[in-house]
Structure 1
Amino acid sequence: MYYCFFLASKHYVMHFMYGAFCRAASSAPKPSSLRWGTTAAIHLRNLRSVLLPTCPLISRNAAPFRRASTEATRARQQAVLYPERINVYRAGTSATLSVGLARVATIVIFLAGATVYAPAFFFSPDHSSLWIPVFIAAAAVPFFVTALATGPMIHAIRLYLPSSARRSKDDLKRFANQTPAETLLELQYMRWLPWPETRRVPFGRLRRLQPSLRGGIANLEQQNPHVPDKMKNTLLGWLAHRNWGRFYVNRAQRRDRSAVPGVWEGMWNQIPLKGSKEDVLAQAKSKKVKAPVQMRGRSSTVKDGKSAN
């Protein structure tokens, strides 16, 4: 009995589901070839819009453009041949090492005389203590003599080049023969310490000197127009200028050891001799502008009796 009821209910459910399915299938519109093609075109257009970004296309003739000039193209094609800072003078490795070793030797002599021999005479019962200052001064003599004699010696000179002088050798040669006054030079030298010092000097402030017994071996001087004459005429100003304002460049080199031979030679010929007609700073100091004579009740007068007004 229960088995028959189960079969009857199952048959009824299947008949209900099958009937609903058949009605839905019969009521749906039949697909046609035209509808399938339209649906496929819509899907293809949507897929293309997703994959390809939307951007307005401009034809080649309508696009704005500017022709590049021939000078700009030629400037881009020319490669930079020289760096911004280039060596134009070098004294040589042997000269630099000899000066450095001389500095070290004189420092060792001074330290030995001040810390070894002077205390030995102080504790010795056979010698007077008055010899201690003499030993210290004698030990310092080689140090000061070497520093004053070889202190102005320049070991290297580096030149700061503008972009117009770095493209070819002819441009660099033209710049060396007509060097502007504001061009920076980097001087490398040794004064009191056994390692090189560096100073940047404008090219227009350099003046040539004649080596003499009073002036020493220096043949190059740096002029500083901002220092007043009163300070230069004092003993302290003279010592400071002699120590830090004068240099020596070896002009008797057999071989030019710089990176660009011949550049420093052209620049050296442009440096005026101190006090000459080409020295602009000396000529400016020699010209003294006198104020016109002013008398009470009269206008200022000048030469030839003409009024200054």
Structure 2
Amino acid sequence: MRVPTMFHAQLRSALSRPVRRELCSSLVLFRLKTTNSAPRVPKREAPTLKSKENTSNSMRSSIPSSPHTKTTIRKGPPERILIYHGGTGRTIFLGVLRITTIFLFGVTCLVVAPAFMSSDFPSYIGPAIVIGGAIPMLFVSYTSAPFVNFVHLALPASVRRSREQALQYAKQLPPTATLYINTMKFTTIPRQTQVRLGDLVPDKSKLRPVSFRNQNPAPLPWWRGRTLRQFFTTEKSKPGRESTTFYPELWEHVYKQIRYPLPKKRY
């Protein structure tokens, strides 16, 4: 069929009415065919594709990369375990007693002694009051110095795989086993002393309670004072809070090894 063309307005007026009707109808059909030939793509398909891609990516990311990424939990004991606890009540009592004697000495030096340092009293009363206030402080500090609050045992790496291995090692300790003994300083500050099991021997004292003594104390600088040599503990550990690092049943075996050391072999 021949494609109709547009004519000028004067030319269309010259045509007859039936011819002009046929020309208009042919133009309308031609426009409908050209407009409906190319189908349009709906706009809503793009977000659906994106959502499918996002869901697939999220599922891929949620899948673990490899089965070896699981975290391992250590079941064995740590490097240091607590084997002796001196008791919370006894430790608090000794700490309060030391603070009380220090406070008493301060009151005698700052309040009581200056009141007697005048011409109305002899000159020796003031120094005597200071000395009398210092005696309780020095006595409590000296007698309670060996009291042990805690004892920790260092475990080698070969016996930290399980609790059973640690128990077997602690029941038969070698002389080179390391113990960390925690005591209290003059100012109630905790003090830790590192000792070897082979250097501890049984000991006694008439002036203060003592269970054993360290034969080879480590030298300290002059400004840190003397190294503590004598220690006091009971045969059994006091019960404490249950923990994976607390082994109170081991102290009986360690205490027996200290009180009754094995004779040295002669070669």
Same fold flag (TM > 0.5): yes
Letter in 2 for 1:221: R
1:136 to 130, 133, 155: 130
CA contact (8 A) 2:84 2:238 kept: no
CA distance in 2, matches of 1:204, 1:105: 38
Q: Which residue of 1 aligns with 2:228?
A: 244
Q: Give deviations 1:212-253, integer Å, cap 9, x for gaps.
A: 525x310111011899xxxxxxxxxxxx6xx82101002265
Structure-to-structure mapping, 1:153-302, within 5 angstroms: 153-209=147-203, 211-213=204-206, 216-224=208-216, 244-251=228-235, 255=239, 259-273=246-260, 278=262, 280=264
Secondary structure of 1:126's aligned partner = coil
CA distance in 2, matches of 1:253, 1:78: 29
Q: Give deviations 1:233-280, integer Å, cap 9, x for gaps.
A: xxxxxxx6xx8210100226564668112111111121245xx8x465
Q: Which residue of 2 aligns with 1:105?
A: 100
TM-score by length of 1: 0.54
Change (3 A) 1:226 1:189: closer
Q: Which residue of 2 aligns with 1:43?
A: none
Letter in 2 for 1:119: P
TM-score by length of 2: 0.62
Q: What is the CA-CA distance between 1:198 and the residue it aligns to?
A: 0.9
Q: Give deviations 1:136-195, integer Å, cap 9, x for gaps.
A: 110001111101211100000111111122222220111011112222111111142212
CA contact (8 A) 2:85 2:237 kept: no
CA contact (8 A) 1:218 1:248 kept: yes
CA distance in 2, matches of 1:112, 1:85: 43
Change (3 A) 1:256 1:204: farther
List gaps (5 residues or longer) in structure 2: 1-71, 220-225
CA contact (8 A) 2:237 2:251 kept: no
Q: Which residue of 2 aligns with 1:38?
A: none
Structure-to-structure mapping, 1:41-60, within 5 angstroms: none
Structure-to-structure mapping, 1:141-152, within 5 angstroms: 141-152=135-146
CA contact (8 A) 2:83 2:247 kept: yes
Greater RCO structure (CA 8 Å; 6+ sep): 2
List gaps (5 residues or longer) in structure 1: 1-76, 228-239, 285-309
CA distance in 1, matches of 2:90, 2:217: 32
Letter in 2 for 1:98: F
CA contact (8 A) 1:152 1:191 kept: no
Q: CA RMSD in A?
A: 2.8
Q: Give deviations 1:53-77, integer Å, cap 9, x for gaps.
A: xxxxxxxxxxxxxxxxxxxxxxxx9
Matched, 1:86 2:81: yes
CA distance in 1, matches of 2:217, 2:102: 35
CA distance in 2, matches of 1:252, 1:173: 16
CA distance in 2, matches of 1:165, 1:104: 42
